[in-house]
Amino acid sequence: MQNLLSDVVVVDLTRALAGPHAAMMLGDLGARVIKVETPAGGDDSRGWGPPFVEGESTYFLSANRNKESVTADLKSADGKAFLTKLIARADVLIENFRPGVLDRLGFSVERLHELNPGLVVLSITGFGHDGPDGGRAGYDQIAQGEGGLMSITGAVEPTKVGVPIADLLAGMYGAYGALAALHERSITGKGRVVRTSLLASVVGVHAFHGTKWTVAGELPERVGNHHAQIAPYGLYRTQDDIVQVAVGSEGQWRTFAPIVGLDPLDERFAVNSARVAHRDELTAAIEAEFSKESADVWLERLAEKGIPAGKVRDFQQVYEWEQTLSQGLLIDVDHPTLGRIQLPGPPLRFDDQPYAGARETNLPPPRLGEHNESVRAWLE
């Protein structure tokens, strides 16, 4: 199983998060990922903190497992010669420069495919490689706002998602596109360019909010911690804490309503569209009943009736939760500076293996230039 992508070599020219996340996903599947960094400081995220542990940025550690690090000044003759050799041996090249930067370095798409006709090039930009805003720099929170995501997130004012979701989604879409291009290459022998952007990744997950506008002509609005088109579905206060409840069908509603002292046939709540229209009344009625018991009592009671419900856990609770551990979502690696450390791991499992990802042994995020000698020796 650890050999899924073991014959694939990825050259990772990216920094920050979107590109590194895409490369890490391929590394998690067994690819050899060679991260090329600037000699002076490397990936920007090596300096992003606090926290730092023994000088290592936990931000960098989150996006660079299963990679090797080499340093090269791509503006120099030596750096260009080194990258040329890497490209000739690579299957995938990932870059997230602004449009035109790689061309100015002497590595246009045409040049890349002269060096290696089978090369798959994954290009991740902020707003796309062309169009009136194609040259804009891409940063996650800017893309969340420009792409509409913040307009539907939060209760009162527009709110960003708590993780850099535009970056992460662009990385996921990019890895997905690169794998499709690799599959095509196995048939045609030719590589191609795959493009995505932070903007595209955000628009790509608009889901039902998108069609609410494009088909129905209705502008989505913020509804806080409740679902925009289903009720009851959201966060509710109990006697001592909060719980989340998701009543996703009319059958579930008929089960749930009596639990909280409501008549499932009450005309205000009898069907989902009515419940959405009367959401405030419904929420008040549910919370009036929930206030009589603790969150644990309600969670147990709802579970007995098959109603989806859950806690809102902090990160300590998530990483100590037996269910998280059972899914292999934490991995142990031996870091050259930090020693044995634990990292959030890949989200995929294959067959019945106990660990996530496609590698039996995971590589720690590398020190800057840690593999300079071994990679250069491999290229000779």
Beta bridge partners of 355: none
Strands (E), 80-163: 92-95, 120-125
The one-letter amino acid at 160: K
Which tokens sit at 187? 């048939």
Query: What share of residues in the chain are helix, strand, coil (percent, to 5)?
Result: 40, 15, 45
Confirm if 305 and 255 have CB atoms less than 8 A apart: yes
Return d(Cα 74, Cα 224) in angstroms, integer: 46
Q: Counting beta carbons within 10 angstroms of the beta carbon of residue 151, is it exposed (0 to 12), middle (13 to 18) or buried (19 or more)?
A: middle
**Which among 12, 28, 140, 167 is annotated as catalytic?**
167
- Distances in Å between the Cα of 18 and the Cα atoms of 15, 48, 117 are 8, 15, 25
Between the two ends of the chain, the Cα-to-Cα distance in Å is: 30
Active site (annotated) includes residue 167: yes
Confirm if 18 and 168 have CB atoms less than 8 A apart: yes
Return d(Cα 29, Cα 99) in angstroms, integer: 28
Q: List active site positions.
A: 167
